[in-house]
Amino acid sequence: MKEKMMILLISLGLVLAITFLIFNYQTGMTGFAVLNESSENEDQVTNATEIKTITKQDALLAINESEQIIQEMLKHNFSILYMNDTLLEAKIIYEQAKYAEILRGDVNATEAGKSEASKALSLVKWKEIGYADILIYTNDIKERKEKAFLLIDEIAIEENKINPEEGELFSERLFKYPPAEPSDETKQILEDAKTAFQEDRYQDTENLLEEFRNALEQETAEASTLSGIKKGAKNFFQRYLFHIIIALILLSIIGYFTYKKFGKKLIKKKIRKMIAEKEVLMRLMKKAQEDRFKKNIISGLVYNIRMKKYQEREQEIKQELPVLEARLVKKKKEKVGKK
């Protein structure tokens, strides 16, 4: 009986402990979710508050700042086509925001003003328009300016890689040695990047600069490898010059005696080949004569071409054969003299 009571009490304790843990775990998780949801809501409220706090004066200041940026870009001879279009969009939004204020009743306006605002925004969802929308365009202009100056600096750096001795980086000893001369194709990539920058195509400029870096890096690596091979070969010849000269002398001596030994056989072989070729030419000339004058199966033009070719080769053999025969006789005499 006592054992059963103990088992019952232990089981009850375990159930209570598990229930307690589950309850606390769920409470903690729920609290965490509520906390996150609360944080997100607070962020959304904060962002919404910030948007609402962008006043008409703030929007005007942002537009004026954009106009100053465009003037600065003009002083540096940068293209301003994109910025002009973006600023025009910002000004359009500014006018729409003014009319939207009137239609929402945020500002006092006459009936004529309300009518004008209603006409201006007849095709626009004006309830969602505010001065904060202008910042999308003015911030874009700011980022465009930063990118422009960054890209012009990058172009200057890449130009210094091509002609470092003419640039500031070389004078400041940032380039210890000039890099390998790039190919015309690689230089053209950089020229294309500069053209893209002048035409206000900044994304193309970035892509072309990256392409130029990769091409130049590959050519520099190849030039470095070739330079290493040349340097290694030069060091090898300088270190083993004496051994190389001895080896060349030995090879020359071996070659000379080898030729002396096998020269007679080579001459005989060449003589036999020429005699056989001469006999073949004689048969071909006879056959050509038969085909032309007996069988009449070839024209006079073909006959003359063939005979001219055979006779020219026959004449070459007649000139070379006596020379080879004389050399063979001489070698035989040398061999007899040695004996």
Model confidence over 161-211: pLDDT tens digits?
877 554 444 444 444 444 557 888 988 999 999 999 999 999 999 999 999
Instruction: Give me 316's structure tokens.
Output: 């070459």
Asked whether residue 330 falls in the same domain as residue 280, the answer is: yes
Instruction: Let me know if residue 183 belongs to a domain.
Output: no
User: How many structural domains comprise the chain?
Assistant: 3
3-state secondary structure 17-45: HHHHHHHHHHHHHHHHHHHHHHHHHHHHH
Does residue 72 carry a pLDDT above 90? yes
Asked whether residue 73 falls in the same domain as residue 4, the answer is: no
pLDDT band at 128 (very low <50, low <70, confident <90, very high): confident
Instruction: Let me know if residue 227 belongs to a domain.
Output: no
Exposed/middle/buried for 269, CB within 10 Å: 0-12, 13-18, 19+?
exposed
Asked whether residue 36 falls in the same domain as residue 74, the answer is: no
The residue behind tokens 């954009």 is 66
> Which residues have a Cβ under 8 Å from the Cβ of 91 and sit 6 or more positions away?
63
% of the chain with per-residue pLDDT over 90: 29
Residues 281, 310: contact at Cβ < 8 Å?
Answer: yes
Instruction: Let me know if residue 186 belongs to a domain.
Output: no
Asked whether residue 118 falls in the same domain as residue 26, the answer is: no
Asked whether residue 320 falls in the same domain as residue 269, the answer is: yes
Exposed/middle/buried for 129, CB within 10 Å: 0-12, 13-18, 19+?
buried
Asked whether residue 69 falls in the same domain as residue 36, the answer is: no
Q: How far is CA 201 from the centre of its chain?
A: 18
Q: What is the pLDDT of residue 37?
A: 42
Asked whether residue 81 falls in the same domain as residue 153, the answer is: yes
234-248 pLDDT tens trace: 677 677 777 788 888
- Of 32, 53, 74, the one marking the end of a domain is 53
Minimum mean pLDDT among 88-97, 169-178, 269-278, 318-327: which range?
A: 169-178
- Of 178, 196, 226, the one marking the end of a domain is 178
Does residue 142 carry a pLDDT above 90? yes
- Of 117, 149, 178, the one marking the end of a domain is 178
The residue behind tokens 């537009």 is 63
Instruction: Let me know if residue 112 belongs to a domain.
Output: yes
Residues 179, 218: contact at Cβ < 8 Å?
Answer: no
The whole-angstrom separation of Cα 103 and Cα 70 is: 33
Domain span holding position 41? 1-53
Instruction: Let me know if residue 30 belongs to a domain.
Output: yes
The whole-angstrom separation of Cα 162 and Cα 178 is: 8
Asked whether residue 90 falls in the same domain as residue 157, the answer is: yes
pTM exceeds cut of 0.75 = no
Exposed/middle/buried for 206, CB within 10 Å: 0-12, 13-18, 19+?
middle
Asked whether residue 154 falls in the same domain as residue 43, the answer is: no
Q: What is the pLDDT of residue 147?
A: 92
Asked whether residue 128 falls in the same domain as residue 71, the answer is: yes
Asked whether residue 75 falls in the same domain as residue 141, the answer is: yes
253-307 pLDDT tens trace: 877 667 666 677 888 888 889 899 989 989 999 998 998 898 889 888 888 998 9
Q: What is the pLDDT of residue 332?
A: 72
Q: What is the pLDDT of residue 309?
A: 92
Instruction: Let me know if residue 67 belongs to a domain.
Output: yes
pLDDT band at 70 (very low <50, low <70, confident <90, very high): very high
